[in-house]
Chain A
Amino acid sequence: MIGLIADRLLQAALALLLLSMAVFLLTRATGSPLDLLLGQNATQEDYARLEKELGLDKPLAVQYGIYLVRIVQGDLGRSARSGDSVSALILDRAPASAYLALVATLIAFVGGVPLGVLAAVTRGRIWDTAITAATVVCQAAPSFWLGILLIDLFAVRLNILPAGEFEDWRSIVLPALTLGLFGLGGVVRLVRTSMLEVLDSEFVKLARAKGVAERDVVMRHALRNAMLSVVTYIGIYFSILVTLNAVVEVVFNWPGIGRMMFDAIVFRDFPLAQGMVLFAASVTIVVNLFVDIAYSFLDPRIRRQ
């Protein structure tokens, strides 16, 4: 187990290193950062001073080394638009996004798994049909449309929940529901499909032949095996929600990473956009690491390998 974790950590570190190199080269390809950082009345002396200050007068390899050291120190540069530290901006926004992603993922997981199991064990019957139809609606509804609909119903007409913002616990309900329902649809379909596959396999038939109770067959044998694909889906889903959830964050004016990424791209704020790409990739890599570790708990064969 320790070997597996060490192996995955090594892979993650390598991936981050390659990514940092790609981001570094992209930064240079989009033009000199001096043009973005210096004021409009800057003189040649200002350019020379800042060039030296940022280490841009050094060879590219040395610059990359400095860049790596700065990343490790959490320094991702300054926003071209506001002049704020990119690291500080990300750290300021990340908790709101993580909170929203966590609640949405919980809705998807806690609601999706039982419904998926129910749909699988009642295959072809009314429950299965109803759940499958509902999941199609959940996944087909565009999130911006669903978000506006929920705001109109629960905030404007019924006035029982706020229309966005990050104020108190009630603020999370509508954006999390908007995101969670989409994820829930995906989890239900995955659990149902995987369960049907596993329930039809030889080892399940053998368990039933040996007289194992149906409840144990479903919960201990079938569901555990079906969970491998669900864990992968949840991992990807969570990392996307933390980093790239622009639409719902804009609709609900949620002060998170997704909205900031949207603004950074629209306003061509390259240092901020690049810092966020690095952050998004780091989150994805870390979540994948956890998913790999979760695999080994669900499937002992992975541990043995």
Chain B
Amino acid sequence: MSLTWKALMAAAVIAVAAATTVVPHASAQQQASLVVALSTLGNESLDPIGGPSFNKQYLQLLFDPLIGSDPKDEGPSKQTGLATDWRVSPDGKTVTFELREGVKFSSGDDFTSEDVKFSLERLGSKENLTPFGATITSAIEKIETPAKNRVVVTLKSPSFAFLQLMNFVASGTEPLIVSKAYFDKVGADKFKTEPVGTGPYRLVERRAGSQMVFEAKDKHFAAGTPRFKRVTLRLIPEETTRIAQLRTGQVDLADVSRETIEQLKGAGMQIFTKPAGDVLMVYFQLHNKSSRFQNEKLREALSLAINREELNKFLFKGVGQLSSTFGAKSSIGYQAFSIDRYDPTRARALLQEAGVKPGELTLQFQAFSFNGWPETRETANALASYWEQIGVKSQIIFRDYATYRAEWRDKKLPEPAVILHPMPGTPLPSALMNAIVKCTGILSIACDPKVDSALEKLSTAGSESDYVSAYRGVEKTLHDNRYVLPLLEAGTVMAGNKKVRPDYSVGTGYLGINLQQVYTQ
């Protein structure tokens, strides 16, 4: 009996030893899971054209863009997108895309040129709610599909911006390709809840307002075998909880505020940050001709009342950089301008000159949550406090971007409307400018013929030099007139445990957090 017992024990020990020698080898190929905690998941729409791109990183898992980006430097890549090559005709009006062959959607349908045509044409449909859809489709004259692996896009005029916008780093969810065959088969409603793409993952569970779970496909043309079998994106708005779950290992990667960096480093977490990237700025809603903000002196007074150095030092722990432009430093053609220095005395004098009596004006101050910007609420409070010091009150309305965007778009924000807006850094801010500072833009805040004329030149720029010249013209007009008040530029901060590769780069793209580098081996 005793001998049998010992034999069983020995067998068990050998079995355990065998198992433990196999497991690490297997996990080096593909780890079981990664849980990412985020402060917001946007409007949670699963359709690439179903709403603004902000915070919709999850679509990177499901879909591939027409032009891919390098996981390291995020530049255009012929290896990671659905186009393997592209050529622009000598007159700059025709772009030919060669498409990857042998790629399938999760539904089993083959990826073809018809899917590209369908996806681009959807950007011009009335269902499209993305900010750059109109910019892209208005540049297109026609789309032809001479072969299953070739798409020819004829532009109305040469456009430097068009090719840039086919990569989601410069635009957002617009260049993500959906399956025409699947869409036609299931219809728009089912597509919204059960979308399929060519991306490395498929959606296996979605709990609205809580989490999304994705499962890796066996093989993806760019990522190979994805690094994690399962990726869970969990919505945890409360930062204390995000950090607690990170420290207990329930979560592997999370967006955190800059003030927690030292604490998390002390707890052995890896910190992933960029010195610059997104620009936090204040917009004035200037569309209403009777708006108080039409008075330039009022705008200047509000700008001079802000102590930007103090904001950066105390709320952003000094990791931000003061900003003078709409576009981030990563913009093509970036050029810095002068920054308004804190001068409350001058601000009060300007307010008086503008005819605003102390305590008479109450601003309707809109702010919203944004991945990588947990300080937005505190910043809104700080700005309100600065303005209070010169005699301007603020009613802060803090809510989700996806919700208040409707009111913004319809020019129904309560007046006088001020918006605190972290603008994602992108190499090509022209599309954002078209949406926000052009007279007819989807989220237009101002109507200045000078800006519109410069933007027109920007959108028709056929070469990089024309583009840069026009871009700088727009920035100068915005700066000189203080239509927007750039505050500071700072990058998203993420904290992660050892599951996250040490060379992870948070990303500079419009979608915010780069998940491509998370799942790539």
| A contact residues vs B (CB 8 Å cutoff) | 35-36, 39-43, 46, 79-84, 89, 92, 148, 151-152, 155-156, 159, 162-165, 167, 250-253, 255, 259-260, 263, 266-269
Contacts and interface: CB of A to CB of B under 8 A. Distances in A.
Given A40-B406, A267-B399, A81 B43 contact: yes
B237 A46 contact: no
Contacts of A83: 45, 192
Contacts of A162: 245, 248, 250
A195 to B, nearest CB: 39
Contacts of A46: 126
A163 B250 contact: yes
**In terms of DSSP, what is the predominant structure of the interface of chain A?**
loop
A152 B442 CA distance: 45
A251 B238 CA distance: 6
A148 B240 contact: yes
A300 B211 CA distance: 50
Interface stretch (B140-148, B202-210, B334-342, B422-430): B202-210
B409 A156 contact: no
21 contacts: A39-B127, A39-B129, A40-B129, A40-B406, A42-B126, A82-B45, A82-B208, A89-B208, A89-B209, A151-B241, A156-B247, A159-B248, A163-B244, A164-B241, A165-B245, A253-B241, A253-B245, A255-B210, A263-B209, A267-B403, A268-B399
Most-contacted residue by chain B among A35, A39, A266 (CB, 10 A): A39
A250 B237 contact: yes
B129 A260 contact: no
B209 A82 contact: yes
A81 B402 contact: yes
Contacts of A40: 129, 405-406, 409-410, 442
B209 A253 contact: no
B400 interface: yes
A253 B236 contact: yes
B323 interface: no
Interface string B197-227: 0000000000111110000000000000000
Contacts of B404: 268
Contacts of B399: 266-268
Contacts of A41: 126-129
Nearest to A151: B244
Interface size class of B (residues with CB under 8 A): 35 or more
A232 to B, nearest CB: 33
Interface string B373-402: 000000000000000000000000011101
Most-contacted residue by chain B among A84, A151, A267 (CB, 10 A): A267
A269 B403 contact: yes
B43 A82 contact: yes
Given A156-B244, A162-B245, A163-B250, 14 more contacts: A39-B127, A39-B129, A40-B442, A81-B403, A82-B45, A92-B208, A151-B240, A162-B248, A167-B250, A251-B241, A253-B234, A259-B209, A266-B399, A269-B403
B400 A81 contact: yes
B174 to A, nearest CB: 15
B210 A266 contact: no
B44 interface: yes
Contacts of B127: 39, 41
Contacts of B403: 80-81, 267-269
| 10 closest cross-chain pairs (CB), A and B | A163-B244, A267-B400, A255-B210, A41-B126, A267-B403, A151-B244, A155-B248, A253-B236, A163-B245, A163-B248
A110 to B, nearest CB: 28
Contacts of A167: 250
A155 B127 CA distance: 45
B371 to A, nearest CB: 16
Interface string B40-67: 0001110000000000000000000000
A155 B237 CA distance: 19
Most-contacted residue by chain A among B192, B209, B211, B247 (CB, 10 A): B209
Interface string B431-460: 000000000001000000000000000000
Contact of B240 (A43, A81, A89, A251): A251
Contacts of B238: 250-251, 253
Interface in B94-140: 126-129
A41 B234 CA distance: 31
Nearest to A259: B209
A82 B50 CA distance: 10
Contacts of A156: 244, 247-248
B444 to A, nearest CB: 13
A167 B35 CA distance: 13
B245 A92 contact: no
Contact of A163 (B45, B129, B237, B241): B241
Contacts of A148: 240
Contacts of B237: 250, 263
B36 to A, nearest CB: 14
Contacts of A269: 403
B128 A92 contact: no
Contacts of A253: 234, 236, 238, 241, 245
Interface string B240-276: 1100110110100000000000000000000000000
B44 A82 contact: yes
Interface string B162-173: 000000000000
Contacts of B210: 255
A192 to B, nearest CB: 35
Contacts of A152: 244
Nearest to B133: A41
